[in-house]
Amino acid sequence: MTAYLDNSATTRPSAAVAEAVRKAMESGWYNPSALYRPAMETQKKVDEVRNICLKAAGAAGQRVVFTSGGTEADNLALLGYLRTRRTGGKVLISSVEHPAVSACAEEIRRMGFHPEEIPARKDGRIDTERLEDMLDGDTVLISVMQVNNETGAAEPLQEIAGLRDRKAPDAAIHVDGVQGFLRCATEFNRLRIQSYALSAHKIHGLKGTGALIVRKDHPLHSIVWGGGQEGNLRSGTENTCGIIALGEAARTWDPAACDRMRKLKERLAAKLLDAIPQAKVNGPAADDPALSAPHILNISLPPVRSQTMLFALEGDGIYVSAGSACASRKQKISPVLRAMGVTTEQADCALRFSLCAETTEEEIDYAAERTAFHWETLKKYTRR
């Protein structure tokens, strides 16, 4: 048996997506910028996907810019907006952001702005009291995640937007929604968010496709130069197959999948905590839907190091991770867990189990049983 539980890294394209891509490659492969009828039909399909994304994010009437993925969407949201401003100011970035956002800090500084980190609490969510103290009339941009990709912590977007409205009403809010889109309710228009990034391959679409939802009145400058596609905000011939796949993934998403994932996540957490006395969840409790996403569980299993457990589980056909796939080969200890105040020992023993709409109860039970088995064996051989 195999159990793929690394869906925060990527998901398998669904059968509906695979079929939509096949059709697109056979009959919808035309360049949507061309003026003849087949190309215009392809452009029509691309625009239909824009509306699907807007509806799913509660952003009716706004703009969608298709990108190569969530990373480019985040970069466009931050750097593209700051390029429209003539004066500097503070840019507040949460201390638990994905590298797609946090790695922009140095470039933001070179542009004449002042990036500052919003501290995180022990549960992995930002400290809104500290954010309130940091907000003032000099704040030009706030960037927070909807859902943390390592811990599953869900940020209080409504509270953050309320603080912005009261303390820094002219500041823009960008939300990295890569791990939240479709899996958590998104209310773009109601919260007056300025931009929102998403990625197709996290929801059973294809790698290489993402989108940035942007308010119509929010200024943005391109960071890619070329033929002026996507309203002059993202030059380059559109990835029509990837865009159509994104639309099909969103269109066929089953809202009931979130409840199923939540129950499976709770089941996995309960089994691991029961079988392994030293186990400790990093982030909000698995059974609290107000504080955490339904599909991500980060748990430390001391004294067994994550890398050791990863190799043991791989031998059983169980695939999990020790953190963000974008940084797992570069970072020994997760900067997200460090920002939460997790000890080095606990962080060094952390695993991330991430579920998807297709995850089964059998996979969960198999993963829990084998993890407990390996922990009992490996705990005897840890370094002292």
With b for 16 or more beta-carbon neighbours within 10 A and e for fewer, the 328-345 pattern comes to beeeebbbbbbbbebeee
Residue 86: other Cβ atoms inside 10 A: 5
Active site residue 326: yes
Structure tokens that stand for 313 in this block: 């589980």
Structure tokens that stand for 223 in this block: 């960071």
Beta-bridge partner residues of 197: 176, 212
Q: Are 149 and 324 within 8 A, CB to CB? A: yes
Structure tokens that stand for 284 in this block: 């909000």
What is the C-alpha separation between 272 and 100, in angstroms, rounded? 31
Please identify which residue in the block is written with the tokens 């228009």: 189
The one catalytic residue in 53, 326, 349, 356 is: 326
What is the C-alpha separation between 335 and 25, in angstroms, rounded? 41
Identity of residue 302: P
What is the C-alpha separation between 351 and 299, in angstroms, rounded? 5
Query: H helices then E strands: how many in the chain?
Result: 15, 12
SS3 annotation, 311-375: HHHHHCCEECECCCCCCCCCCCCCHHHHHCCCCHHHHCCEEEEECCCCCCHHHHHHHHHHHHHHH
What is the C-alpha separation between 368 and 275, in angstroms, rounded? 9
107: closest CA among 132, 86, 76? 76
Active-site residue list: 326
